Structure 1
Amino acid sequence: MNNQELAEKILNKVGGDSNVAELVHCATRLRFTLNDKSNVDINGLEQLDGVITTVQSGGQFQVVVGNKVAEIYRELEKFIAQDDSTQAQNKSTDAKGPLIGRLIDIISSIFTPLLGAMAASGIIKGLLAIAFANGWLDKKESSAVILQSASDSLFYFLPMLLAITAARKFKTDVFVSVTLAGALVYPDIVAFFSHHSEVSFFGLPVMMMKYTGTVLPIILAVYVMSLLDRLIKNYIHETVRNVILPFILLLIMVPLTLLTIGPVGVFASEAVASVFVKIFSFNPIIASALFAAGWQVFVIFGMHWAFTPVIINEISVLGKSTLKAATVPAVFAQAGAVLAVLLKTKNKKLKTLASGAFVSSIFGITEPAVYGITLKLKKPFICAVLASAVGGGIVGYSGSGAISLGIPSLVTLPIFYGDGFVGLLIGISVSFVLSAVLTYLVGFEDPVEEAPTSINKEVELQQAGNTAPVGAMNAITAEQILAPVSGKVIPLEKVNDNVFSSGVVGSGVAIEPLCGQIVSPVNGTVVSTFASGHAMHLLSDSGAEVLIHIGLDTIKLKGQFFKMRVSEGQRVTQGELLVECDLEEIRHAGYDTVIPVIVTNPERYQSIKHQQTERTESGAVLLSLS
């Protein structure tokens, strides 16, 4: 399947271009902001050849496709219309969801487009540092100056680049935003700061700050400008709006930023940097070990984006980032775990997957390793986390730091050159070897090679003289309970409620839902409902008593965010809508939205088995009763 075909199929599975409010990409993931997540065919997406897995985090629906992400993104851009109606949808979408999710979405949208250029500049900067330290190149030579311009220009003019991405995210004029950022790094403004000049604006004192290489001031300024833009644009006639609106925005925002927003942003940046300095200076070994151990967990949940501006801020204020250095052992630990899986597994398909994931891991792309191998096998992931902590402790003890931003890999090692570089090399070597050894010794549940289909087996039996008709060998199941909603399947014992997890109520599984439409898993009757709408009891035609409980402790909401679509005594069929709920609002109210699906009369059956899958689709078989 070529990239164009894959892009078309991905777009179709996420609900089409009308369902896409926004699309960006990072090193391995397509990051969709969707208008309606219930329109996504997750199972279909994950079955596509070229899609590694899907992740929901930070208000985004992420499709992990690996190293081909840029090519697939370009193909998707051809199909996705970015018109005014789409932008209007974006505004409504951005306003929803929990605060932390919206913040992570904002950060990822602003910084993702810059990662490639940042990594490239960082590598050049690191190689130059090596060349200068060993006397291979003189800093004053014209060749060195030209190369330094290539490595330093991005960081010097970082406010201007951030102005572009921030303007796109906050949906305001890109060119006015860049002009605003240009004012912050204007030579005379820089000179005011360098010469400690007293500056005023029509009698108001201006506290001059250094804005080159800063992050927070321009993001805050563009956000405020976007609010001002929306506030006044409708009061300006459209015939002169293209001239008058930018004039007013620049006239207000440049002085306002230099007077207030800029200094506040710089002080906040310095305060954040000082906090991390104190944390790492208190005990750098423990701090670095804990951060390294948690890094891949942060990546899984998309929380790693929250640290991107912090890391850039560290580099800008302090000259290097100890936080960034602590992430390197985590990457190489995953590579070590995958290598052990590659050497130990007997499964040919897993061995092939592991070989590709190993190569991508050592070059900094860990998603194929994490989602495709270590996380699925569980024990290798745990071994990698433990090894990361050991390597991170060594890196912290050595005082290692990054002089630029970039994905930790063999290629980007030059960005860590400087004090503690040898310690960093030792740390990542230890994490790699220890992870591989632990994974190999601890082992994992090696997937069994797929057997021929049951139909083929039956045909073989008939050809061998068995006269039973095809299908007669299939196991007879007394009843099947279908999934009432699409989502992630969670073992009942892992539900954060002792009543459900203990099995007192009955046997079953739980689902972390992707949408708020809950449908009937059986053909039968509604035995009871709750006025709060958070739960219902069904009796199937075959005698199974099924409890569907939407969320934990959600009875306290007293019906808020729930709409019951059936009543007691009503006849229902599989797939019929039972209840609608607003999952985002329920989560925002602080409640867990996991949905236990429980057979409350398990004594009626010899066995109750749930499908061995991490995700399910609404209407798919969830429980088999016999």
Structure 2
Amino acid sequence: MGKYQQDAEKLLQEIGGKENIAAVTHCATRMRFVLNDESKANEKAIENIPSVKGMFTNAGQFQVIIGNDVPSFYNDFTAVSGIEGVSKEQSKAVAKQNQNLVQKAIGTLAEIFTPLLPAIIIGGLMLGFRNFLEGVPLGFLGDQTITQASTFWNGVNSFLWLPCEAIFHFLPVGITWSITRKMGTTQILGIVLGITLVSPQLLNAYAVNGTSAADIAANWTWDFGFFTVDKIGYQAQVIPAMLAGFLLVYLERFFRKHIPEAVAMIFVPLFSLLPTIIAAHVLLGPVGWKIGSGISYVVNAGLSSSFNWLFGLVFGALYSPLVITGLHHTTLAIDQQLVSDFGTTNLWPMIMLSNIAQGTAVLAIYFQHKGNKKEEQVSVPATISAYLGVTEPAMFGINLKYVYPFVAAMIGSSIGGMLITVTNSRALGIGVGGLPGLLSFPLKSYPWTIVSMVVTMVITFIMTYILRQVKALNKIEPALDDDDLSDLATVGAGVGASAPAAVTASVMDKGTGTVTEEMIYAPVAGEVIAIDQVNDPVFSKKMMGDGFAIRPTANEIYAPVYGKVVSVFETKHAIGITTATGAEVLVHMGLDTVELKGAPFDVKVKEGDQVTPETLLAVMDLTAVKASGKETDVLVVFTNGEKIDSVTLDMTGAVKEKSRIGHAEVLS
């Protein structure tokens, strides 16, 4: 039996069964499913599987976050399901059946730029370091720059230009290669095409604006007698390279279909590459340059205008939702074009702040839910990865789950984006989209960049606490803090009027009748566990009903619901409560403790008493129970199963007594 066999079996069942899975694979942390019908996946039940840390749907794939042990989970899943996994590329191909035209286009763009990101990011960091070495006069060096004062560092600065030039000036080579790789055509042809766009024989793109039309006509043209073609390079240009790369791909596909295989090795590359090179220099390059320059000009103008504060405010807020749709990948090309045209980008700084905001929101959730061990397995690494520029675990694992932290992060990044824009703090290139992103800015921009980062983090952190109280933005948690709940609850209030309705329950219509949501509170401090983990088959198999258990660390047992005591067992080990919604709740202290004949228990209530989560039901002597050889689990069981639609735990792991930890849906 594999380590994750039970969880894998549960996931297979709740995802709609084997017949609902078109393809399955996994990446570093996630199971990736392509489902025939996504509506059949029971997300609520999947989220409650112990190994599952979150889920989301993206690019036609239903992705379930498992964590670093996903290879072991994947092996157990394929064993119990009998489904043979596919490669990530095959999975993506199958997933496209669930995508519309726009999603397919965005997915293609993402897959083109993703392989280039490591080079672009490290290039941005090296440019930032070179800027510090050669561009910042230092007082202790007699107002000289480091390169002026040190032969060694001057050599380092000069040497670092080698990889920077390779990354940015020769970026079209990477783009055309990546397109052929993504589209499954001959990659070496893509590399050759890219080189023809940046060859030293051509006038460097960065020198074009400083060269007169007469000089270009005289020295930088191919003269074919009756027409000429400018010898213009496309260093760092994105759109010309993309247009040329796609033309090469479609020409190769066309000629492979129509040229006999016997001569395909010669004529397919010839008829694909040569016409593409010609088209790139005659039409696609000049047109693509103008398109790219036009886009970057519009974006730069918006971010440099008197209304740049509004642009920063809006883009800062909306970037995170763009990540959900995948549209954020389009910003990579715009950023790179801005760097090419203006030497810096004022778009990427806002993206950096958005990532920082998402990480900060998860950090706030960590403090709010401190002690929830299962959630910490997601929140801690998600915070770190977001601060290092990867926000998907933070967004999909935590923030979108609760909603309000996601909104708080939007607000924080909106204010931060406005601040970094109005102060004209521009980055030298695309860097690490988190806290290390500071290194991608010129030193003169450090003060306002740091201020923008701090403002983003502080506002996000505070808003995460404030928005927790807004019921409309709170997907799972109560509208009020546990401390606030304690203040509002009235000890001894009657059933049906025990506390404000917003505190105790909410009513919904499921189409087949009215369902009332009964809030559940921790009856004792300790560790929450699922009822199927209790070492008693009567409870673990839910013969008594659904519920949960807590392994206590304190002796005081409180009421888990608002209601009325209807029974106190003679042996004092169990108390029955009925709620205003009609739920019958059994509080059972310890396992097999009926044999102790009440000795370790001091019951504080009697039949007919009205109780709230503030009411002390009993004191259980944990030491005495353990000394008798009995387990101390405190169980909360909903015994009238015909009226209980579901019992949901929103928290697992360590909890405080009287804190809200879940809800039950009670049928009327």
Q: Please say whether Structure 1 and Structure 2 have the same fold, judged by a TM-score greater than 0.5.
A: yes
Change (3 A) 1:95 1:56: closer
Shift of 1:97: 4.0
CA distance, structure 2, for counterparts of residue 209 and residue 67 of structure 1: 49
Partner-residue secondary structure (3-state), 1:400? coil
Amino acid at match of 1:364: G
Aligned to 1:146: 159
Aligned to 2:363: 339
Amino acid at match of 1:162: I
Aligned to 1:99: 101
Aligned to 2:417: 392
Amino acid at match of 1:200: W
Contact 1:162 1:215 in 2 (8 A): yes
Aligned to 1:163: 176
Change (3 A) 1:15 1:158: farther
Change (3 A) 1:158 1:239: same
Aligned to 1:221: 244
* CA-to-aligned-CA distance 1:129-172 (integer Å, 9 cap, x gap): 12223322359933222222123311121111111211122332
Q: Is 1:182 the counterpart of 2:195 in the alignment?
A: yes
CA distance, structure 1, for counterparts of residue 64 and residue 223 of structure 2: 49
Aligned to 1:524: none
Amino acid at match of 1:424: T
Q: Is 1:241 the counterpart of 2:254 in the alignment?
A: no
Contact 2:255 2:272 in 1 (8 A): no
Q: Is 1:401 the counterpart of 2:426 in the alignment?
A: yes
Shift of 1:259: 0.6
Aligned to 2:464: 439
Aligned to 2:342: 318
Shift of 1:204: 3.2
Change (3 A) 1:45 1:342: closer
Contact 1:294 1:385 in 2 (8 A): yes
Aligned to 1:114: 116
Amino acid at match of 1:131: L
Contact 1:66 1:367 in 2 (8 A): no
Same amino acid, percent of matched pairs: 23
CA distance, structure 1, for counterparts of residue 415 and residue 52 of structure 2: 33
Shift of 1:290: 1.1
Shift of 1:179: 0.8
Q: Is 1:199 the counterpart of 2:221 in the alignment?
A: yes
CA distance, structure 2, for counterparts of residue 353 and residue 93 of structure 1: 26
Change (3 A) 1:66 1:397: farther
Match of 2:283 among 260, 270, 273: 260
Please show how residues 53-64 of structure 1 align to structure 2 within 5 Å. Answer: 53-59=54-60, 61=62
CA distance, structure 2, for counterparts of residue 71 and residue 213 of structure 1: 43
Contact 1:66 1:368 in 2 (8 A): no
Let me know the Cα RMSD of the aligned residues.
4.9
Please show how residues 39-54 of structure 1 align to structure 2 within 5 Å. Answer: 52-54=53-55
Partner-residue secondary structure (3-state), 1:131? helix
* CA-to-aligned-CA distance 1:278-310 (integer Å, 9 cap, x gap): 211231211112111111111122221122211
CA distance, structure 2, for counterparts of residue 160 and residue 10 of structure 1: 44
* CA-to-aligned-CA distance 1:302-361 (integer Å, 9 cap, x gap): 221122211111112221111111122222222332333222335523456433333333
Please show how residues 263-282 of structure 1 align to structure 2 within 5 Å. Answer: 263-282=286-305
CA distance, structure 2, for counterparts of residue 418 and residue 42 of structure 1: 51
Change (3 A) 1:280 1:429: same
Shift of 1:34: 5.1
Please show how residues 466-545 of structure 1 align to structure 2 within 5 Å. Answer: none
* CA-to-aligned-CA distance 1:201-252 (integer Å, 9 cap, x gap): 6333324433111111121112122222222222222122122211221221
Partner-residue secondary structure (3-state), 1:420? helix
Contact 1:119 1:412 in 2 (8 A): no
Partner-residue secondary structure (3-state), 1:54? strand
Change (3 A) 1:41 1:153: farther
Change (3 A) 1:31 1:216: farther
Change (3 A) 1:198 1:362: closer
Specify the structure having the higher radius of gyration (Cα): 2
Change (3 A) 1:434 1:263: same
* CA-to-aligned-CA distance 1:337-391 (integer Å, 9 cap, x gap): 2333222335523456433333333222333322232322222222222222211
CA distance, structure 2, for counterparts of residue 212 and residue 31 of structure 1: 40
Aligned to 1:136: 146
Aligned to 1:491: none
Amino acid at match of 2:236: G
The runs of 5 or more residues in structure 2 that have no matched partner are: 79-83, 137-144, 209-214, 470-476, 483-520, 523-527, 533-538, 550-566, 575-580, 584-641, 651-663
Partner-residue secondary structure (3-state), 2:429? coil
Partner-residue secondary structure (3-state), 1:309? helix
Q: Is 1:415 the counterpart of 2:440 in the alignment?
A: yes
Change (3 A) 1:82 1:372: closer
CA distance, structure 2, for counterparts of residue 71 and residue 208 of structure 1: 56
CA distance, structure 1, for counterparts of residue 203 and residue 62 of structure 2: 41
Q: Is 1:364 the counterpart of 2:386 in the alignment?
A: no
Shift of 1:421: 3.2
Shift of 1:2: 11
